[in-house]
Amino acid sequence: MAETILIKNGRVIDPANNLDTISDILIEGGKIAKIGKNITAEASQYIDASNKIVLPGIVDMHVHLREPGREDKETIDSGSRAALKGGVTSVLAMPNTEPAIDSIQSIGILKEIIKRSAKIDVFISAAITLGRQGNQLVDMKALKDSGAIAITDDGASVEDEAIMYETLKMAKKEGLLVIAHCEDRELSAGGMVNAGFTATRMGLRGISKESEYLRVKRDIAIAEKANARLHIAHISCAESVEIIAKAKKRGAQVTCETAPHYFSLTEEAVLGYDTNMKMNPPLRGSSDRLAIVQGLSDGVIDAIASDHAPHTDNEKEIEFERAEFGVIGLETILAVSITELLVKGALDWSGLAEKLALNPARILGIDKGTLGIGRSADITIVLPQEEWLVEKKGFVSQSKNSPYIGKRLKGKVAYTIYSGMIAYSGISKNQAQEH
Ligand code: DOR
Ligand code: ZN
């Protein structure tokens, strides 16, 4: 049963409606019923949001939930709980599961699991090619009709240009978003860390920036030729930002995301062979990190997505070269963004809400990311000044491979409201009553 919740005196941020003001919010029947000052209503729950920030629930458009097939890494249940702890109320699940999400059958299996165990909205992306092998296109119409909203071979690029062209043409016709993982495997093959001094010092093969940005360039060119829309996943280097900025200027229908690790960490972090710093694309140089921050603040980069990529200790606590690529991120996406972007002045609260909720919702074409009246009440309430230590034992996610373990972050989720219910509370009695 949906309850009536009255949120009092929070600083309400809703960029879709140009809102940044101290206000109350009334939630009824799972929806936002009223926003305004001095709302009085009989409610079953009251939240004192004074000194807190009230944001649209985070929409994380790049999440590996690993189900079906790799339940040892994460499940839709554990991933949903991790999301709620991080203030995330909607995710786009990546299709590189086992089996890959490339057929009506596999979407059917996934939908069953979502229905049974999701505690947030889990949107479905399907593969572009069968088995993500890069050869044969999926049946886009069938997958769209079964509920996929996007397609991606994430984890791999579509190497064949003709297939990528066909993908963009067909996806346009079917109304599916194409998400490109940009990596030229001929250039990156065998690479482990950023090419250059880090790779040399560590005695490992490098993943060059060219392997990313040349593919960004190629995929945008193909999208322009097909007159189609393209979203580029997890950009990590300055050249990609520049290429996308230019493409946007000339009117290409391109959007992109980055992940918190690319604006908060650099390749220096990997020199100690910490496998929690190993991901693909890899951490880059400090000028790349600054270009990503700049791209976020000037609008070239549309969205922040976690690229939550859980791996077990068995796959991470081993030699660097054998360890899997990827880091978890659902529980830290907001705090890292606050610590690195808001506190340092690159984005204000509205800007942050745009990158974390509004823009990803718009890119995905889903009715999320705003606090508009009548919308589903997905709301994240934040204690902006609260500092916390990231500890391995503190993670709800089934996997613990976070690059932030041992670091202090600013900004803590006080409450996550999903569909009009308080789905997570991270607040002590004292903090709840603080004025
Ligand atoms: O680091 C990564 N991990 N990059 C990817 O593209 C895939 C992901 C995964 O699935 O583990
Ligand atoms: Zn990827």
Point out the ligand 1 atom lying closest to the alpha carbon of residue 64: 10
- Burial of residue 168 (CB within 10 Å: 0-12, 13-18, 19+) is buried
pLDDT above 70: percentage of residues in the chain: 99
In this structure, the residue with its CA closest to atom 2 of ligand 1 is 326
Question: Are residues 214 and 112 both part of a single domain?
Answer: yes
Contact 63, 33 (CB under 8 A): no
- 214 and 281 share one domain: yes
Is the pLDDT score of 86 beyond 90? yes
CATH number at residue 317: 3.20.20.140
Ligand 1 site residues, Cβ closer than 6 angstroms = 64, 96, 154-155, 181, 279-280, 309, 325-326
Asked whether residue 395 is domain-assigned, the answer is no
Residues 264 and 117 grouped into a single domain: yes
Query: What is the DSSP-derived secondary structure letter of residue 268?
Result: G
Atom of ligand 1 nearest to the CA of 311: 11
Of 62, 72, 96, best ligand 1 pocket probe by most atoms within 8 Å of the beta carbon: 96
> CATH no. for residue 425?
2.30.40.10
Distance CA 370, CA 178 (A): 23
Last residue in a domain, options 333, 364, 395: 364
Residue 47 in domain: yes
Nearest ligand to the C-alpha atom of residue 182: 2
Are 254 and 208 in a shared domain? yes
Among 62, 67, 132, 154, residue to substitute to test ligand 1 (most atoms within 8 Å of Cβ): 154
Domain assignment present for 404:
no
d(CA 155, CA 137): 17
Residues contacting 60, CB < 8 A, separation 6+: 83, 88, 90, 91, 92, 305, 306, 308, 330, 333, 356, 360
| Domain identity same for 200 and 110 | yes
Whether 291 and 320 map to the same domain: the answer is yes
Catalytic residue numbers read 307
User: Do 418 and 287 fall into the same domain?
Assistant: no
Q: Are 36 and 181 in a shared domain?
A: no
pLDDT, one tens digit per residue, over 187-202 is 999 999 999 999 999 9
Is residue 397 included in any domain, yes or no? no
The strand pairing partners of 410, in sequence order, are 387
Residues spanned by the domain of 203: 57-364
2 confidence band (pLDDT: 50, 70, 90): low
Number of domains in the chain: 2
11 and 66 together in one domain? no
Whole-number pLDDT of residue 57: 99
What is the whole-number distance in angstroms between the Cα of residue 404 and the centre of ligand 2? 20
Sign, CA torsion 236/237/243/247: positive
Which protein residues have a CB closer than 5 Å to ligand 2 (ion)?
154, 181
pTM: 0.98
The whole-angstrom separation of Cα 199 and Cα 301 is 27
For 49-62, the pLDDT digits (tens) are 999 999 999 999 99
47, 68: one domain: no
- The Cα 17–Cα 85 span in angstroms is 26
Q: Are residues 181 and 99 in the same domain?
A: yes
pLDDT tens profile 163-183: 999 999 999 999 999 999 999
pLDDT at 431: 72
DSSP string, 338-379: IIIIITTTS--HHHHHIIIIIHHHHHHT-S-S---TTSB--E
pLDDT at 1: 54
Residue 101, token pair as written in the block: 């999400």
Q: Which atom of ligand 1 is nearest to the CA of 96?
A: 10
Q: Whose CA is nearest to atom 5 of ligand 1?
A: 155
Residue 264 in any domain: the answer is: yes
46 lies in a domain?
Answer: yes
| Residue 34 maps to a domain | yes
Residues 176 and 49 in one domain: no
CA 182 to ligand 2 centroid distance, Å? 8
CA 326 to ligand 1 center in whole angstroms: 5
C-alpha 292/C-alpha 294 separation (Å) is 5
Per-residue pLDDT for 16 more than 90?
yes
Q: Is 431 left (phi over 0), alpha (psi -120 to 50) or beta?
A: alpha
Indicate which ligand has the atom closest to the C-alpha of 180: 2
Structural domain contains residue 340: yes
Integer Cα distance of 107 and 100 in angstroms: 9
